[in-house]
Amino acid sequence: MKDIAWNWIDENREMLIEMSDEIWEYAELGLWETKSSRLIAQELAKHGFDVKLGVADMPTAIVATWGRGSPTIGVQGEYDALPGISNKVVPWKEPLREGAAGHGCGHNVHGVSGMGGAIAIRYALEMEGKDGKVMFFGTPAEENYGGKVFMVRDGLYDDVDACLSHHPSSMNTASIGSNNAVNGVKFHFYGKTSHAASSPEQGRSALDAVELMNIGVNFLREHVIEKARIHYVIETGGGQPNVVPDYARSWYYIRAPERDQLDPIYERILKIAEGAAIMTETELKVEFIDGLYNIIPNRTLAELVINNMREIGAPTYTREEEEFAAKIAETVPRQQKIDNLRKEKVPNWEKYLDVNLVTDILDPWNEGEVRAGSSDVGDVSWNTPTIEFRTTLNVLGAPGHSWQFVSLSGSSIAHKSLIFAAKTIAGAGIELINNTELLKKAKEELKERLKGRTYKTPLPEDCRPPLDIAKVAADKAQGKA
């Protein structure tokens, strides 16, 4: 049955590659991936999926379903880009469009590998006359607003028995580590303006409130768990020094390994914000932007995808591709590569020091490790057994979210990553449909890891996807003022 799916992917290789390249060209930012989502939705419809575009209050979110009966296998695809890192497919820094966005996380590949995998599963189901559903989730704004969290809140994942997705990386593997839960929150302070020299006593500075809040939080750092991370920017701090600012705003990310470790830290930060408002006689408005859960890993699914990767065989590279990668590698200091490999705790990392494109398929090694970043895959993983596996696309040691990654995401190295990942999704999905015991094991593992904890959306009831905020950034990234 896997052969049917893999053949479909081979036969449609060019179409999948063209779609990935087209989305790479569009390079649209989160919540406004209009052309990218339409392209994927149309392709799914062509193959008979029941396609809903514009779910969970997001015009670019997709849920597409094919099949009948059970089980239901979910497949995810992302397609948002990152601002300001546009690059041509060249091994040096040269924007394709000055100041524009670029696919510095390879989500052009992510979206299409998921879609391709889902369509391949659909043909295998049909030709074998098997019961089972495949659902494709097109999930917007992974990079900034956590589209999946809104989709989970709307119950779109409720019937999914297991969920698969791929993420381009610099290795072929599947993580069994976790990552951080996070809250993204904006603190708006409203004061009273006045002449800063002649009548400062009449003013109430909103900037003072922002600064006092930051000082409070910086003292708080000593009294939170060691693994928590708190970072902020001041988005607006006033106009010029001789005007007392009547408005100022900061934007915080607060992270901790588990949601129930994050929540009490967040409560204390709210108190500090209120304290800053009291001290300065300003008004405080808290705007919750996004909240994500930590990932619950799943060893059963990790081993399943790795077995499928081995059955398919990892891509190898031509001399031209190796030379391209070597030139990119020259832009990355060797020490940075060593630091990254160590931080990731890659087993026998020394043997990869002179490797640019990893062709090994690595067993999962990071049980119990917590990556510092966060992802909305976490929220899905609390609700259904979930795996996001990785395939080689980036040069080992090169940074994520970088011009290097943008360039590689549009190259033939990415095309190989895409086809390999789509086949892995199809193979793993089909095994889950055919092997009831395996699916049961994945579900039992999730239950075991949750230890009785249940998911409660981190979003306040009135929190909606911030389409307007996102629109400003999206227009800027496309060169519109």
Binding site for Zn ion (CB under 5 A): 105
Report cis status (omega within 30 of 0) of the bond before 140: no
Which CB atom, from 56 or from 141, has the smaller least distance to Zn ion? 141
CA 60 – CA 35 distance, rounded (Å):
9
In angstroms, what is the minimal distance from the CB of 339 to Zn ion? 21
CB-based contact 387:173 (threshold 8 Å): no
CA 155 – CA 137 distance, rounded (Å):
12
Which CB atom, from 31 or from 105, has the smaller least distance to Zn ion? 105
- Of the candidates 400, 382, 386, which has an alpha carbon nearest to the alpha carbon of residue 340? 400
Give the H or E element holding residue 156: none
Which CB atom, from 103 or from 337, has the smaller least distance to Zn ion? 103
CA 252 – CA 187 distance, rounded (Å):
8
- Of the candidates 238, 236, 263, which has an alpha carbon nearest to the alpha carbon of residue 249? 236
In angstroms, what is the minimal distance from the CB of 30 to Zn ion? 11
In angstroms, what is the minimal distance from the CB of 67 to Zn ion? 28
In angstroms, what is the minimal distance from the CB of 379 to Zn ion? 15
Which CB atom, from 105 or from 273, has the smaller least distance to Zn ion? 105
CA 16 – CA 29 distance, rounded (Å):
21
Which CB atom, from 48 or from 400, has the smaller least distance to Zn ion? 400
Q: How many CB atoms sit inside 10 A of residue 481's CB?
A: 4
Tokens 């909103």 sit on residue: 206
Which CB atom, from 105 or from 160, has the smaller least distance to Zn ion? 105
Which CB atom, from 163 or from 213, has the smaller least distance to Zn ion? 163
In angstroms, what is the minimal distance from the CB of 457 to Zn ion? 22
In angstroms, what is the minimal distance from the CB of 406 to Zn ion? 12
Helix 436-450 to helix 299-312 angle, to the nearest 10 degrees? 140
CA 433 – CA 4 distance, rounded (Å):
14
In angstroms, what is the minimal distance from the CB of 178 to Zn ion? 16
The SS3 call for residue 162 is strand
Q: How many CB atoms sit inside 10 A of residue 233's CB?
A: 9
In angstroms, what is the minimal distance from the CB of 16 to Zn ion? 19
Which CB atom, from 206 or from 408, has the smaller least distance to Zn ion? 408
Which CB atom, from 105 or from 254, has the smaller least distance to Zn ion? 105
CA 36 – CA 22 distance, rounded (Å):
8
In angstroms, what is the minimal distance from the CB of 400 to Zn ion? 7
- Of the candidates 48, 46, 88, 54, which has an alpha carbon nearest to the alpha carbon of residue 68? 48
In angstroms, what is the minimal distance from the CB of 401 to Zn ion? 8
User: Nearest residue to Zn ion, using CB?
Assistant: 105
DSSP letter for each residue of 232-283: EEEEE--S-TTB--SEEEEEEEEEESSHHHHHHHHHHHHHHHHHHHHHHT-E
Which CB atom, from 248 or from 396, has the smaller least distance to Zn ion? 396
